[in-house]
């Protein structure tokens, strides 16, 4: 027995000794990850606005910030131990000289590294403030400005009846002979630096007319986009007539204009101030410059689009990047919403196509616009006939919590194909304070309690159809509905569209609502007194609590004299636009709330008053 005990103690001693040796082997030591940033030390940008991507990797989550507001960061956070990138752009450098700034990358409080940002000045290029020069048929001469630090020469001394003379490094003189041909005389001339590494092109047009008035800019430069902050613009004008300027609104102010000296063709400058856009929505305007007098003989126009938000997050089908441009778009509205911030200086643009949801979308306080093809630079260029389609599943479609800022909108979106009938929660759409839907369509949606619960919200130009709920279709509290159409829907409860708590209806059309659980058809149920102004409702005007003003009782027969006369309400792909003879045409109240287009972008108002429902009648 003693022998066994001795062997036992010996074995344990060997094991303990091995453990000591193992503990001394630093290959088993738990090591701390050292803070590390792998990123380039400097970047250089051209004077024009351009997107910059700086690759980096780090050992910890990182955050980046810029030294000045001319460096606009669009991706400035990242994860650890992954190939990542900083994405930013430099605003156009109006200065002749280079400017420097930095981007600091930080790993919490452990380490930081600076990236030097150098942006070249305008002096590194050859810039022509005007790219077009006009002459009338008499010809003459004009001196144009050349903005550069480079030494340059015109590529030719003369061409096609025009001569080109370098006055000094900042000016070029162009001389035109008389034009008796009766046709436009045109040419182009390039200005090169001595090494031919940069150049600028000038176009010259001689018109066979006496009176001249042109803004000598290329077409795309006469339709500009500017930021929402106040802005000053100098508009070059080539003319030989007395002139006047007209702006489209008070936010575009004509500050000064140079007077015509004689009546030779000459260049003048019209100075314009653009006010800060505090509306939160992109706005469009123009400046018209024309000859004086009641008869317009010569004129030209500068169009201006001013952003409501300075940052746009882009989404299009198949996108897999960071959302900073159409070319670098997100492919998912969920990713775009994750990159947005509540009430931030940003909005989301969504290109047409189908977007299949895999989970409920939480809508932050940010505007979302649909109807883009994926190339647009202005909000007005979208087409509301080509809305993106958000497709749901067996889960709630969307929720949005209280927004304490200005109202934000889903504008130009189709919500479709969601079946969550087993869910008896608040609603498939659970939307709270200061969120709104505009120019949107809701179709083919089922839910176990309500299709939509809307608290202190707005709906404008919206269409709801083919909805199936266990209780409510739309349940609205303290909300407003303007020009909304609700049709062809079913409730399995005693209720249908339940309006209460200060909700108001304007120019709203409700038709063919079926209820299976009650003793009567109830297209509308009211909790308290609900104003209904110029609305058209089938089986609902006598509902207790509905306080009607100039409302219409609709027939169940679509094509009857008292029917809505929808174009095609029963097809597999129904059309709820109004057809000729509809009782809803010109029957709305145009004062609520002054909507300028309908759900598909057609002009409101066509006739004597706005139409009832989401569509304005268009003569076929």
Segment 536-571, tens digit of pLDDT: 999 989 899 999 999 999 999 999 999 999 999 998
Residue 404 has pLDDT above 50, yes or no: yes
| Residue 11 confidence (pLDDT) | 46
Does a structural domain hold residue 26?
A: no
Q: What is the mean pLDDT of the chain?
A: 91
Of 97-111, 186-200, 370-384, the one with minimum mean pLDDT is 97-111
Does a structural domain hold residue 5?
A: no
Q: Which of 122, 139, 165 is the last residue in one of the domains? A: 122
| Residue 519 confidence (pLDDT) | 58
pLDDT band at 587 (very low <50, low <70, confident <90, very high): very high
Q: Which of 542, 562, 582 is the last residue in one of the domains? A: 562
Does a structural domain hold residue 21?
A: no
Q: What's the whole-number mean pLDDT along residues 82-89?
A: 89
Same domain, yes or no: 169 and 253: no
| Residue 3 confidence (pLDDT) | 47
Q: What's the whole-number mean pLDDT along residues 89-93?
A: 91
Residue 13 has pLDDT above 80, yes or no: no
Radius of gyration over every alpha carbon of the chain, rounded to an integer in angstroms: 33
Burial 460-490 (b: 16+ CB within 10 A, else e): bbbbbbebbbbbbbbbbbebbbbbbbbbbbb
Q: What's the whole-number mean pLDDT along residues 169-182?
A: 93
Q: What's the whole-number mean pLDDT along residues 61-86?
A: 89
Same domain, yes or no: 91 and 133: no
Same domain, yes or no: 153 and 65: no
Same domain, yes or no: 199 and 280: no
Does a structural domain hold residue 501?
A: yes
| Residue 520 confidence (pLDDT) | 60
| Residue 102 confidence (pLDDT) | 95
| Residue given tokens 């947005």 in the structure block | 340
Does a structural domain hold residue 489?
A: yes
124 secondary structure, DSSP code? G
Q: Measured between alpha carbons, how far is 98 from 121 in angstroms, rounded to an integer?
A: 4
Does a structural domain hold residue 18?
A: no
| Residue 420 confidence (pLDDT) | 96
Same domain, yes or no: 450 and 552: yes
> What percent of the chain clears pLDDT 70, i.e. is strictly above it?
94
E strand or H helix at 589, and its extent?
none
Same domain, yes or no: 151 and 59: no
C-alpha distances (whole Å) from 615 to each of 60, 482, 496 are 54, 12, 23
Residue 619 has pLDDT above 90, yes or no: no
Q: What is the CATH number of the domain that holds 235?
A: 2.60.40.10
pLDDT band at 9 (very low <50, low <70, confident <90, very high): low
| Residue 391 confidence (pLDDT) | 98
Q: Measured between alpha carbons, how far is 488 from 566 in angstroms, rounded to an integer?
A: 12
Does a structural domain hold residue 607?
A: no
Enter the tokens of residue 498: 């339940």
Domain that holds residue 175: 125-206
Same domain, yes or no: 269 and 234: yes
Q: Measured between alpha carbons, how far is 142 from 315 in angstroms, rounded to an integer?
A: 47
Residue 591 has pLDDT above 50, yes or no: yes
Q: Measured between alpha carbons, how far is 485 from 613 in angstroms, rounded to an integer?
A: 5
Q: What's the whole-number mean pLDDT along residues 483-493?
A: 95
Q: Measured between alpha carbons, how far is 440 from 486 in angstroms, rounded to an integer?
A: 12
Q: Measured between alpha carbons, how far is 594 from 456 in angstroms, rounded to an integer?
A: 20
Same domain, yes or no: 198 and 248: no
| Residue 16 confidence (pLDDT) | 47
Q: Closest Cα partner for 437 from 413, 465, 409, 416? A: 409
Strand stretches in 383-518, DSSP E: 389-391, 398-400, 408-411, 414-420, 429-431, 435-438, 441-447, 450-455, 458-460, 463-469, 472-477, 480-482, 485-491, 497-500, 504-506, 509-515
Same domain, yes or no: 355 and 454: yes
| Residue 26 confidence (pLDDT) | 46
Are residues 224 and 304 in contact, defined by beta-carbon separation less than 8 angstroms?
yes
pLDDT band at 1 (very low <50, low <70, confident <90, very high): very low
- The string of DSSP letters for 270-295 reads EEEEE----SSS-EEEEEEEEESSSS
Query: pLDDT tens digits, residue range 186-243?
Result: 999 999 999 999 999 999 999 999 999 999 988 889 999 999 999 999 999 999 999 9
| Residue 260 confidence (pLDDT) | 84
What sign has the CA pseudo-torsion 14, 19, 20, 25?
A: positive
Q: Measured between alpha carbons, how far is 457 from 535 in angstroms, rounded to an integer?
A: 19
| Residue 31 confidence (pLDDT) | 52
pLDDT band at 620 (very low <50, low <70, confident <90, very high): low
Q: Closest Cα partner for 600 from 407, 422, 426, 370? A: 370
Same domain, yes or no: 528 and 469: yes
Q: Measured between alpha carbons, how far is 395 from 22 in angstroms, rounded to an integer?
A: 54
Q: What's the whole-number mean pLDDT along residues 27-47?
A: 79
| Residue 148 confidence (pLDDT) | 95
Residue 22 has pLDDT above 50, yes or no: no
Q: What pairing do the DSSP bridges indicate for beta strands 497-500 and 472-477?
A: parallel
Same domain, yes or no: 162 and 276: no
Q: What pairing do the DSSP bridges indicate for beta strands 158-159 and 152-154?
A: unpaired
Residue 339 has pLDDT above 60, yes or no: yes
Provide the whole-model pTM.
Answer: 0.83
Q: Which of 185, 206, 227 is the last residue in one of the domains? A: 206
Does a structural domain hold residue 519?
A: yes
Domain count, the chain: 4
Same domain, yes or no: 265 and 374: no
């Amino acid at each position: 027995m003693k022998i066994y005990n001795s062997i036992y103690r010996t074995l344990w001693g060997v094991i303990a000794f091995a453990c000591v040796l193992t503990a001394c082997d630093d290959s088993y030591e738990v090591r701390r990850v050292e803070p590390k940033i792998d990123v380039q030390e400097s970047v250089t940008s051209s004077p024009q606005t351009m997107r910059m991507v700086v690759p980096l990797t780090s050992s910890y989550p990182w955050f980046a910030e810029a030294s000045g507001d001319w460096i606009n960061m669009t991706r400035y956070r990242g994860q650890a131990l992954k190939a990542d990138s900083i994405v930013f752009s430099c605003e156009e450098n109006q200065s002749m000289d280079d400017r420097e700034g930095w981007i600091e990358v930080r790993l919490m409080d452990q380490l930081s590294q600076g990236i030097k940002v150098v942006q070249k000045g305008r002096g590194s290029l050859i810039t022509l403030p005007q790219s077009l020069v006009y002459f009338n048929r008499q010809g003459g001469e004009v001196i144009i400005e050349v903005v550069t630090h480079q030494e340059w020469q015109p590529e030719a001394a003369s061409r096609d009846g025009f001569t080109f003379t370098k006055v000094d490094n900042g000016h070029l003189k162009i001389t035109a002979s008389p034009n008796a041909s009766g046709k436009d005389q045109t040419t182009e001339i390039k200005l090169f630096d001595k090494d031919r590494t940069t150049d600028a092109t000038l176009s010259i047009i001689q018109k066979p007319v006496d009176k001249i008035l042109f803004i000598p800019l290329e077409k795309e430069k006469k339709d500009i986009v500017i930021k929402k902050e106040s802005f000053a613009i100098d508009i070059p004008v080539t003319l030989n007539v007395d002139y006047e300027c007209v702006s489209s609104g008070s936010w575009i102010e004509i500050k000064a204009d140079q007077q015509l000296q004689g009546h030779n063709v000459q260049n003048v400058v019209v100075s314009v101030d653009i006010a800060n856009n505090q509306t939160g929505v992109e706005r469009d305007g123009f400046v018209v410059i024309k000859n004086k007098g009641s008869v317009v003989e010569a004129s030209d126009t500068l169009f201006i689009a001013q952003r409501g938000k300075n940052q746009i997050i882009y989404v299009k089908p198949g996108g897999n990047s960071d959302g900073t441009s159409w070319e670098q778009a997100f492919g998912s509205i969920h990713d775009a919403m994750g990159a947005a911030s509540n009430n931030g200086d940003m909005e989301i643009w969504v290109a047409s196509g189908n977007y299949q949801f895999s989970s409920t979308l939480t809508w932050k306080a940010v505007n979302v616009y649909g109807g883009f093809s994926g190339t647009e630079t202005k909000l007005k260029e979208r087409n509301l006939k080509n809305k993106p389609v958000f497709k749901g599943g067996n889960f709630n479609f969307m929720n949005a919590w209280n927004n304490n800022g200005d109202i934000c909108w889903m504008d130009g979106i189709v919500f479709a194909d969601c079946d969550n009938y087993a869910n008896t929660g608040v609603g498939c759409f659970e939307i709270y304070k200061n969120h709104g839907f505009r120019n949107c369509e809701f179709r083919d949606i089922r839910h176990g309690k309500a299709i939509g619960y809307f608290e202190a919200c707005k709906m404008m130009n919206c269409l709801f159809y083919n909805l199936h709920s266990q209780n409510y279709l739309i349940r609205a509290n303290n909300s407003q509905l303007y020009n909304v159409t609700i049709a062809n829907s079913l409730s399995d409860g005693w209720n249908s569209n339940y309006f209460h708590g200060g909700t108001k209806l304007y120019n709203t059309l409700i038709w063919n609502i079926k209820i299976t659980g009650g003793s009567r058809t109830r297209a509308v149920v009211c909790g308290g007194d609900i104003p209904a102004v110029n609305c058209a409702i089938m089986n609902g005007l006598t509902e207790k609590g509905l306080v009607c003003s100039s409302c219409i009782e609709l027939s169940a027969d679509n094509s009857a004299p008292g029917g809505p006369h929808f174009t095609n309400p029963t097809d597999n792909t129904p059309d709820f636009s109004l057809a000729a003879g509809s009782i809803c045409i010109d029957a709305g109240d145009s004062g609520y709330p002054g909507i300028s287009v309908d759900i598909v972008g057609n002009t409101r108002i066509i006739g004597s008053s706005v139409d009832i429902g989401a569509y304005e009648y268009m003569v076929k």
